[in-house]
Structure 1
Amino acid sequence: MGTEPNNKSEQTSRKRLIREEGLMPLFEHLGELRKRLVYVLIVLTIGLVVGLIFAEPAYNFLMSQEPANTISLNTFSLWDGIGMYMKFALVIALILALPVIAYQLWAFVKPALRKNEQRSTLKYVPFALLMFLIGLAFSYFVVFPLAFRFTRSVSQHLNLVETYGIAQYFSFMFNLLIPISLLFELPLVIMFLTAIRLVNPKRLRKMRRLAYFIMVLIGVMITPPDFISDVLVAIPLICLYEVSVFLSGTVYKKQLEADAKWEAEYGESLNNA
C-alpha cells in the first residue's frame, strides 16, 4: 500500500516527460520555421527596395513593347501611379527572393534528410530562378498577347470606347504572368519531393488523369474563354507534368541504386551480426 503513491507519481512523471519530449521537437521546428521566415522577409524587404529603384526602367521597357505601345494608358485615381510602382517592385522583389526562398525551404527540411539527399536536393535551388524566368517569358510573349487581343476584340465587337487604365492594364498582365511563372516550378518541386521520398514516379503516373484535369482547369481559368488560348496554355502545362514525371523517374532510379549499393555493403554484415 505504501508504494502505490510512489508508483502513481512515477507514472505521472513519466507521462509528463514524454509530453515534454514531444513538445520540445515541435517548439524547435516552430523556432526553425520562424527563423527561415525572418530570412525570407528580410530578403523580400531588400528586394522591394531594389524593385522600387528598377521599377521605372522596367515600366519604360514594357511600355515600349507591344501591346502597350499601341494603346493609350490613363490614370483614374491619384493612387494609380503609386500602385503601378508597387506592383513592379513586388514582382522584382519576388524574382530576386525566389532562390533565397528555395534555399530556406531546403535548409528547413535539411535535418530530416540523409547526407546524400542533402547534396542532391541542394542543387535544385539555383534552377528555381531559371524556371521562373522561363515561365515569365512564356506567359508574357505567348499567353498575355492572346489574352489581351481576345479581350480587346470583345470590346470592339460590342462597340465600346477603349479607354484603358494603367492600374487595370498591369494588374491584368501580372495576374496572368505570376501564376503561370510559378507553375513552371513544378518539375523542381516534383524532383525535390521525390528526393525526400514523399512521391515517386509510380504514384505520379497513377495520378496522371487527375493531374491532366487540374492542368486543363488551370489553363481555362487563367486564359480568355476561347479554345485556342486554353489549348496553348494547357498543353505546355501537361508537358511540364510529363517532364516532372520523367525527372522524378531519374531521381527515383538513383535512389534505388543507392539503396541497393548500401544493402550490398552493409546488409550482409548486419545479417551476420
Structure 2
Amino acid sequence: MNTESSQPGTQQEMSFIDHLEALRWHIIRAAIAVVVFTIAAFLAKDFLFHDLILGPSRADFWTYRTFNQVGEWLGATALHMDKPTFDLQNRQMSGQLTMHISTSFVVGLALGFPYTFWELWRFIRPGLYPHEQANSRGAVFFVSVLFILGLLFGYFVAAPLSINFLASYQLDATIENQIDLQSYISTLTTMSLSCAFVFELPMIVFFLAKAGLITHEIMRVYRKHAIVVILVVAAVITPPDVSAQIIVTIPIILLYEVSIHIARVVRRNSTRRLNEQLAQNQGVS
C-alpha cells in the first residue's frame, strides 16, 4: 500500500479510511515478520534453550568467564562470579510446551522489532515535511542498532548478574534453590528486554527535541535528578549488589550524556533553519 500521496504539500491527499487501510497493511506485514521469527525460534529448540536461554545457568557462560578473567587480571575479588547454584524444575504437565511456545513468541517479537519499527516508520514518514524527513534520515537504523545493543547488554550483563546473585543468595545452607523454569525465563527475558528499551533513550530524546518538548538546557539542569532516576532504574533491573548496579548504571549515564548532545544538535539545526527562512523572507520583501 503506497502512502506517498499523504505527504504534506502534494496535490492528492489520502482520506481517513485510506490511512486506516494503509496502517492495516503495515501492521499485517509486521505481524507476519513476527510470526516467521517465532516459527524459526520454535523450530530451533536446541539452540534456543540449550545455548541461548539456559546459557546463563551454566558455569562456562561467557559473562562468568570474562568477569573472572578480568577480576584475576585486576586483582579484584568483587568481580569473581561463581557458578549459579540452582536446579531448574518444571512442575506443570504442559509447562515445558507452554514455555517453548511463549519463549519462541518473545524471541520473535525481539527479532522482529527492527522490521516492525520500519513498517511503522514507513507509515509515518510520508506525513512529514521534506526537511523533517531529511532530518530524520537513519531513524530506523539507529533505533534498531540501539535496540540490539541494549538486548545484548541485558542478556550478557544485566541478566547474568541478576541470575547469579539471586540464585546464589541463601538464608541458610540447608535451603536448596530449586527454581521454577517459568521464573528463570521470566527473569532472563525481562532483564534483556528492559535494557533493550532503556537503550532507546537517545532516539526518544531526539524525537522529543524535534517536537520541541525537551532541550539540552533542560536536560543539563535536571542532570542530577536524572542520575537519581537512573540509579533507581539500575536498582530495579539488577540485584541489590553495588558492583552490578554500577556496571549497569555507567552505560545508561553515558546514553544520557549522548542524549544531551543530540538535543543540542537538534536545537542548533532548528535555529539555523529558522534563521535561513527569516533571511529568505527578508530578501523577498
- Compared CA separation, residues 202 and 30, structure 1 to 2 (3 A): farther
Decide which of 272, 276, 279 is 1:257's aligned counterpart.
Answer: 272
Tell me the percent identity: 25
Deviation at 1:178, TM superposition (A): 0.9
TM-score using structure 2 length: 0.73
What TM-score, normalized by structure 1, do the two folds share?
A: 0.76
User: Post-superposition shift, 1:87?
Assistant: 3.8
Distance 2:143 2:115 in 1: 9
Measure the CA separation in 2 of the matches of 1:137 and 1:257: 38
Give the distance between the partners of 2:216 and 2:108, measured in 1 at CA.
Answer: 34
Structure 2 CA distance for aligned equivalents of residues 34 and 213 of structure 1:
41
Please give the secondary structure, in 2, of the residue aligned with 1:164: strand
Give unpaired runs (5+ residues) of structure 1.
1-23
Which residue of 214, 217, 230 corresponds with 2:232? Answer: 217
- Counterpart of 1:46 in structure 2 is 36
Total equivalences in the alignment: 247
Match of 2:181 in 1: 166
* Alignment match of 1:182 (pick from 197, 221, 230): 197
Higher relative contact order (CA 8 A, sep 6+): 2
> How much does 1:233 deviate?
2.0
Matched, 1:61 2:51: yes
The AA in structure 2 aligned to 1:145 is P
Q: 1:113 to 1:209 in 2, by over 3 A?
A: farther
1:241 correspondence with 2:231: no
Q: Deviation digits for residues 78-106 of structure 1, max 9, x if unmatched?
A: 22212332243123212332222322343
Contact 1:102–1:125 under 8 Å retained in 2? yes
Report the alpha carbon displacement of residue 228 of structure 1 after superposing the two structures with TM: 2.7
State the 1:123 CA deviation. Answer: 0.7
Change (3 A) 1:153 1:214: same
Counterparts of 1:157 and 1:133 in 2: how far apart (Å)? 39
For residue 35 of structure 1, report the CA deviation from its aligned partner.
5.1
Q: CA deviation at 1:184?
A: 0.7
Separation in 1 of the partners of 2:220 and 2:21?
37
When Rg is computed on C-alpha atoms for both structures, the one with the higher figure is: 1
Distance verdict in 2 for CA 1:250–1:111, change over 3 Å? same
Q: Is the 8 A contact 1:47 1:92 kept in 2?
A: yes
Residue 55 of structure 1: how far off its partner (Å) = 4.1
Q: Which residue of 1 aligns with 2:106?
A: 91
Letter aligned with residue 253 of structure 2: I
Q: 1:54 to 1:124 in 2, by over 3 A?
A: farther
Distance (Å, rounded) in 2 between the aligned partners of 1:26 and 1:204? 37
Q: Aligned residue for 2:130?
A: 115
Query: Unmatched 5+ residue regions in structure 2?
Result: 1-13, 60-82
Q: Retained in 2: the 8 A contact 1:40–1:100?
A: yes
CA distance in 2 between counterparts of 1:63 and 1:104 reads 29
Q: Distance in 1 between matches of 2:127 and 2:225?
A: 30
RMSD over equivalenced CA pairs, Å: 2.9
Deviation of the 1:171 alpha carbon: 1.4
CA distance in 2, matches of 1:204, 1:26: 37
Amino acid at match of 1:194: A
Instruction: Confirm whether residue 133 of structure 1 aligns to residue 148 of structure 2.
Output: yes
State which of 215, 229, 237 in structure 1 corresponds to 2:244: 229
Query: Greater helix share, 1 or 2?
Result: 1
1:252, 1:85 → 2: CA distance? 47
Distance 1:207 1:35 in 2: 42
Instruction: State the 1:65 CA deviation.
Output: 3.4
Match of 1:205 among 211, 220, 229: 220
The aligned amino acid for 1:267 is N
Contact 2:158 2:237 in 1 (8 A): no
1:59 alignment partner AA: F
Q: What corresponds to 1:104 in structure 2?
A: 119
Paired residues of 2:53 and 2:185 also in contact (CA < 8 A): no
Question: 2-side partners of 1:260 and 1:109: how far apart?
Answer: 27
